[in-house]
Amino acid sequence: MLDLQLVRRGNPCVDLSYFLGSSTSPEFRKDNLDRLLKQYHKSLVGYLVDLGYGEDVYKLEDFMKDFRGAFLFGVILGVVHSSVRIRVRNVQLTVTY
């Protein structure tokens, strides 16, 4: 997969974990994570099949393993980016012309 944000080949689970870790509550993830991951995987594989890959291009077991490995990294990225956004917002509020 090509990651255009960082312009690199990357694991889709990093972006997914970043999104889920920075945009949802722990309670929401506890109640919905398994269902969301299965739906995401189903959609991702569907798009890959449309692009000419075989049905077994990315097995659910491999996807879940990749997600578990990427989750902490994605959440940390979310926290860092949130911190930067807060600092930038505070700086903008204190600037006078």
CA gap 5, 54 in Å, rounded: 27
**Phi, psi torsion values for 8, nearest 5 degrees:** -155, 160
- Identify which has the larger pLDDT, 22 or 54: 54
pLDDT digits (tens, 9 = 90+) for 53-75: 999 999 999 999 999 988 888 77
**Phi, psi torsion values for 3, nearest 5 degrees:** -100, 105
93, two tokens: 């509020």
- Identify which has the larger pLDDT, 85 or 31: 31
Q: What is the per-residue pLDDT for 95?
A: 43
Number of residues in the chain: 97
Return all residues near 94 (Cβ < 8 A) that are at least 6 apart. Answer: none
pTM here is 0.71
Mean pLDDT of all residues in 65-88 = 74
- Identify which has the larger pLDDT, 21 or 93: 21
- Mean pLDDT of the residues in the chain: 81
The yes-or-no verdict on residue 78 having pLDDT over 50 is yes
CA gap 14, 75 in Å, rounded: 9
Range of the domain at 31: 2-94
**Phi, psi torsion values for 2, nearest 5 degrees:** -100, 125
In the chain, the number of structural domains is 1
Cross-strand bridge partners of residue 2: 9
- Identify which has the larger pLDDT, 83 or 71: 71
